[in-house]
């Protein structure tokens, strides 16, 4: 059934739908903004601490701030995890598996600190930029050739 239009009048619609859509859009934007602020408890304090840390490192400050911002964003998505006990060693052993077969056993022995007759020393730290492991293996002297 079509509405009756009286002569001399212009049919109008009430602008109800656009107004309702705007209200819903504004409400959704507000919820997204609140969610972004509440995504990681203490993330603002953590970010300030990381920014302060960037002032005392040898790394380029701009790169440090970029990494701190990326870490904050990833924390908001619950994507950051801390390495548990042995996590760094497990990572190192996984990298040993990528070595050529002839070098793999020596690599794993360096990580475990059990290099057989050799002596393994470890220097540095993960936080300091890297752990350097060195194994010194004494070799028996070669017999002098007979004259």
Query: How would residue 83 be classed by pLDDT, with cut points 50, 70 and 90?
Result: low
Per-residue confidence (pLDDT) for residue 98, from 0 to 100: 94
Spatial distance between the Cα atoms of 78 and 39, rounded to a whole number of angstroms: 9
For the chain, the domains span: 21-76, 102-137
At 56, give phi and psi (nearest 5°). Answer: -110, 20
- Least confident range of 18-32, 53-67, 117-131: 18-32
Please compute the mean of the pLDDT values over residues 75-80 and round it to a whole number: 78
Per-residue confidence (pLDDT) for residue 84, from 0 to 100: 67
Residue 111 contacts residue 133 (beta carbons within 8 Å): yes
The two tokens of residue 2 are: 């079509």
Of 129, 96, 112, 130, the closest CA to residue 120 belongs to: 112
Long-range contacts formed by 59-62: CB under 8 A, 24+ apart: none
Residues belonging to the chain? 147
3-state secondary structure of 3: coil
Spatial distance between the Cα atoms of 53 and 50, rounded to a whole number of angstroms: 5
Please compute the mean of the pLDDT values over residues 21-34 and round it to a whole number: 57
Per-residue confidence (pLDDT) for residue 100, from 0 to 100: 94
Is the per-residue pLDDT at 101 higher than 80?
yes
CA angle 45, 50, 52 (to 5 degrees): 95
Spatial distance between the Cα atoms of 115 and 107, rounded to a whole number of angstroms: 9
Per-residue confidence (pLDDT) for residue 114, from 0 to 100: 72
Please compute the mean of the pLDDT values over residues 55-59 and round it to a whole number: 69
């Amino acid at each position: 059934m079509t509405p009756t239009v009286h002569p001399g009048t212009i049919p109008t619609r009430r602008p109800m739908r656009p107004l309702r859509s705007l209200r819903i859009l504004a409400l959704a934007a507000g919820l997204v903004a609140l969610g972004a602020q509440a995504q990681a408890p203490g993330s603002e304090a953590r970010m300030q601490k990381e920014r302060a840390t960037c002032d005392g490192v040898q790394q380029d400050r701009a790169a440090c701030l970029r990494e701190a911002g990326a870490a904050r964003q990833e924390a908001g998505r619950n994507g950051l995890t801390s390495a548990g006990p042995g996590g760094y060693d497990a990572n190192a052993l996984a990298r040993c598996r990528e070595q050529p077969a002839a070098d793999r056993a020596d690599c794993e022995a360096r990580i475990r600190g059990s290099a057989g007759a050799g002596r393994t020393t470890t220097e540095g730290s993960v936080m300091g930029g890297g752990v350097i492991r060195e194994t010194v293996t004494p070799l028996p002297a070669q017999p002098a050739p007979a004259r």
